[in-house]
Amino acid sequence: MKVNVQDVSTVEKILNVEIPEAEVTREIDKAYGTLKKNASVRGFRPGKVPLSILQQRFSKDVHAEVRGQLIQSSYAEALRQTQLVPLGEPVVDPPQIEKGQPYQYSATVEVRPTIEALELKGFTLHKKANTVDDEEIEAHLKVLQKGQAQLKSIENDRPVKKGDYVLINYEGYRDGKPFEPAGKTENFGVEVGSGRILKEFDDQLVGMSRNSEKEFTVCFPDDYFSKDLAGLEVVFKVTLNDIKEEILPDIDDEFAKDLGEHETLADLKETIRKDLEGKYQDLSERELRREILDQLIKQKEFELPPVLVKHELSALVNEAQNMLRYRGLSPEEEGETEEKLSGKYQSLAERRVREYLLLQKVVEQEGITITDEILEEAYQRMAKRMNQSVETIKQFHKAYEEAFEAFKHKALEDEAIQRIAKNSTIKIVEGGKGVDEKPEAEPTEPAPESKTDQKE
């Protein structure tokens, strides 16, 4: 069998394969031999159908079957000979096969780019040191307090003010007729002034009284997420059913007990402090990781395999749309179509693939392999992040091999990052509070591992 490789680019190759005539003839004869034993043709006993009849009736099917078998077996051999490692299925447009002729076909494959040796020592890196102060803890307590608040109908008949919670019935009209895109809704609950609904609608609720009715016009902006409402004027008829006010619990020892395993408010504050410190530590590690990757990206320029970018982009788009669905929203109604999200996350997908390939190179260059120690450290980190026991995570990985393989790959990447950090100068800087704005829009916090990791 003859094989040669045609370089389309650094990441796209064409395998040109030629199978000898003798092998083609042998496989076709073998296929007709098998067919003759099993073919049922009217007027002939089983096994006695002449070859000419079989060729006349079944040549197309026989040739297609033999062609498929030859491509399957020869493709594997061609990869062995050329030592190519494809990133996905080959693209093959197989020509017809003929007895007495060698069979030639071409298979287009995508491969990882060749990355020259990287410099992994002597970086100057920066690591943020965030401290948690009492003011931040108090702010977190107020968030918890609001989460434990109760809503109570007001006793007097005062008008609605900002900060009230109201229950309303509403219906939208156009040209005096009910307008379906604006919906007909009963007992819709909303906090007035929260920004959950259009401000022009929200403002009209202020001053209404219980059981009162109101009619007003709302002009939807041209860029409104719902295309059916964007740029339109809609008349709304609203009935205010009830006005509720928020009753906040006192922040004391009883409040702490109600939130879980805390005997005192001091215990709760200490839990909050540790939780925030852990989040800041995670943020600091993520930012250090990104700075290391920035340093690696600057060193080498290389092509990205389209199949990996496509796979990563698809995962990001699905993740973003699933997040909307989880919140009870329709991606289509929110204007987050697959096309729009693909444009939004294209550069992020490319960045993640580039990071993946560079870290693969570091792992290979440093000869990093999975050890029990590396795995155990990775389990400890994951257990802490997920607030689960190491044993629970291990049991999950025993049941789901694919998840375990992705976990091992992430552990190798983390070890590569740690080795680079150990051979760098790290300057500690005081960091600002909160999460810095990300250079790229992301559907979530940076994922523990890229979806690309699961492709090869």
Q: What residue spans define the domains of the chain? A: 2-110, 124-133+264-454, 150-247
Residues 174, 334: Cα–Cα separation, whole Å: 22
Q: Tell me the CATH class for 2-110.
A: alpha beta
Among the four given CATH numbers 3.10.450.50, 1.10.3720.10, 3.10.50.40, 3.40.50.970, the one describing domain 150-247: 3.10.50.40
- The maximal CA–CA distance of the chain, rounded, in angstroms, is 100
What pLDDT is recorded for position 432?
Answer: 56
What pLDDT is recorded for position 441?
Answer: 44
What pLDDT is recorded for position 35?
Answer: 87
Sign of the alpha-carbon torsion through 260, 264, 265, 270: negative
Domain 124-133+264-454 in CATH: superfamily? Trigger factor, C-terminal domain (1.10.3120.10)
pLDDT of the chain along its 456 residues, tens only? 999 999 999 999 999 999 999 999 999 999 988 888 877 777 787 777 888 888 888 889 999 999 999 999 999 999 999 999 999 999 998 999 998 999 999 999 999 999 999 999 999 999 988 889 999 999 999 999 999 999 999 988 899 999 999 999 999 999 999 999 998 999 999 999 988 899 999 999 999 999 999 999 999 999 887 888 999 999 999 999 999 999 999 999 999 999 988 999 999 999 999 999 988 988 999 999 999 999 999 999 999 999 999 999 999 999 999 998 888 888 887 788 899 999 999 999 999 999 999 999 999 999 999 999 999 999 999 998 888 999 999 999 999 999 999 999 999 999 999 999 999 999 998 865 544 333 344 554 333 334 454 444
CA-wise closest residue to 32 among 16, 15, 49: 49
What pLDDT is recorded for position 442?
Answer: 52
Which pTM does this prediction carry? 0.74
Query: What stretches of 138-277 adopt beta strand conformation (E)?
Result: 150-153, 165-174, 177-178, 184-191, 213-219, 233-247
Q: Confirm if 320 and 341 have CB atoms less than 8 A apart.
A: yes
Q: What is the CA angle 76-79-82, rounded to 5?
A: 150
Q: Confirm if 372 and 422 have CB atoms less than 8 A apart.
A: no
CA-wise closest residue to 114 among 283, 300, 240, 316: 300
What pLDDT is recorded for position 401?
Answer: 94
What pLDDT is recorded for position 225?
Answer: 78
Residues 353, 293: Cα–Cα separation, whole Å: 12
Sorted by sequence, the CB contacts under 8 Å of residue 306 that are 6+ apart come out as 11, 110
